[in-house]
Amino acid sequence: MNGIGSDVAFLQRFGPWALVTGASSGIGAEFARQLAEHKFNLVLVARRKQRLKELAQRLERAAKIQTKVIAVDLTHPDFLHVILAETGAIEVGLLVNNAGFGLAGKFIEHEMERELDLLNVNCRAPLLLSHVFARQMARRKKGGIIIVSSVSGYLATPYEATYAASKVYELFLAESLRYELRNDGIDVLALCPGSTDTEFHDLAGSPAVAAMAVEPVVREALRKLGKNAITIPGWHNRMLVGLLKFTPRRLHTFFAGRVMRKLITR
Ligand SMILES: NC(=O)c1ccc[n+]([C@@H]2O[C@H](COP(=O)([O-])OP(=O)(O)OC[C@H]3O[C@@H](n4cnc5c(N)ncnc54)[C@H](OP(=O)(O)O)[C@@H]3O)[C@@H](O)[C@H]2O)c1
C-alpha cells in the first residue's frame, strides 16, 4: 500500500489516531484519505463542518476506521481549548499541521487583519498544536509530527511576503524539532510542496503554475516520515531548491518578484 515498508509497523509506530488540520480540502483531505488506507483513526479539523462530515463518513465506510470532526477556526485565540476538549482521551500519535493559506498582492494594500490571520493559521496553530501533542507523545515515547511548509520557505517572495515568511517559520520549526525530539521517540518531517492542485491558489489570488496532484505529494510525505527531516515532492521542485543554493539570494528575490507581479496582474 502506497510504498510504506510495513503498514502494520507504520500504524504501530504512529497510530492509532492521527489529527489532520485543514482536512476539508486539498492536501489535508488527501492526508486523511491515505492515512485511512493505513487504518488510522482520524481527527479532522477545519472550519467547513459539512465537508469534514462528508469526508469522515466516506472514510469510515471505506476503511472501517473511527473519525472525529472538529469544526474550528484556527485564527481564534482559543482554538486549542476547543481541540483539546473535543479530543479528550484520544491519544494523537500523528499530528499533521497542514492548514494554511496564502495572500498574494501588494503588502501595503492588504488589510492587517488578514496578515495576522495568516500568521495565526500558518504559524501560531502549528506552534500550539506541536507543543501540546509533542508533550503527550514524549510521555508515550512515540509519535510523529508533519508540518506542511512549502518551497516558498526557501524563497523570499515579493507580493507574497508574509506567506513565504510563514513557511520559513514552519520549515525551521520542523527541522529544529526533529533534532530536539528524536530522543523522545518523535519523528518530525517538514513537507515542502511546490505548486499543488488545490483550492489554495484561487483563495490566495495567484494562479497555479505546473501544479502537482495531491496524491504523490502526500504519498511522498508518509514515505519520508521517520527517514528524512525535509521532503520536497517533485523533481522540478527539488531542482529549483537545488538551484537556489548555488545562486545569490538577491537574484532569487528579483526573479520571484518579477514572476509574482506578472501572476497577480494576469
Ligand atoms: N497548493 C499549493 O500549491 C501549496 C504549495 C505549498 C504548500 N502548500 C501548503 O499546503 C497546505 C494545505 O493547503 P492546500 O494547498 O491543500 O490548500 P486548500 O485546498 O485551500 O486547503 C487549506 C485547508 O486549510 C484550512 N484552513 C484555512 N484557514 C483555516 C482556518 N482559519 N481555520 C481552520 N482551517 C483553516 C481549510 O479549511 P476551511 O476553509 O474549511 O477552514 C482547508 O482545509 C497549506 O499549509 C499550504 O500553505 C500548498
Q: Is the CB of 27 under 6 A from ligand 1?
A: yes
Q: Is the CB of 153 under 6 A from ligand 1?
A: no
* CATH code for the domain defined by 7-265: 3.40.50.720
pTM of the model: 0.96
Q: Best mutation site among 19, 20, 21, 24 for ligand 1, i.e. most ligand atoms within 8 A of its Cβ?
A: 24
**pLDDT for position 5:** 54
**pLDDT for position 209:** 78
The string of pLDDT tens digits covering residues 118-138 is 999 999 999 999 999 999 999
The string of pLDDT tens digits covering residues 227-259 is 999 999 999 999 999 999 999 999 999 999 999
Active-site hit among 163, 224, 227, 262 = 163
Q: What is the Cα Rg of the chain in Å?
A: 18
Q: Which atom of ligand 1 is nearest to the CA of 30?
A: 16
User: How would you class 4 by CB atoms within 10 Å of its CB: exposed for 0-12, middle for 13-18, buried for 19 or more?
Assistant: middle
pLDDT(52) > 90: yes
**Per-residue cell: 14:** 504512529
Q: How far apart are CA 258 and CA 243, in angstroms?
A: 18
The string of pLDDT tens digits covering residues 195-223 is 999 999 888 877 777 899 999 999 999 99
3-state secondary structure of 86: helix
Q: Which atom of ligand 1 is nearest to the CA of 151?
A: 6
Q: Is the CB of 234 under 6 A from ligand 1?
A: no
For the chain, what are the domain ranges? 7-265
Is residue 169 annotated as a catalytic residue, yes or no?
Answer: no
**pLDDT for position 261:** 92
The string of pLDDT tens digits covering residues 72-112 is 999 999 999 999 999 999 999 999 999 999 999 999 999 99
**Per-residue cell: 176:** 529544529
Q: Is the CB of 48 under 6 A from ligand 1?
A: yes
For residue 3, what pLDDT band results from cuts at 50, 70 and 90?
very low
DSSP codes, 201-221: HHHHTS--SSPBPHHHHHHHH
**pLDDT for position 4:** 61
Active-site hit among 159, 167, 169, 224 = 167
Is residue 167 annotated as a catalytic residue, yes or no?
Answer: yes
Q: Best mutation site among 198, 214, 215, 260 for ligand 1, i.e. most ligand atoms within 8 A of its Cβ?
A: 198
Mean pLDDT of all residues in the chain? 95
For residue 175, what pLDDT band results from cuts at 50, 70 and 90?
very high
pLDDT(194) > 80: yes
**Per-residue cell: 167:** 513557511
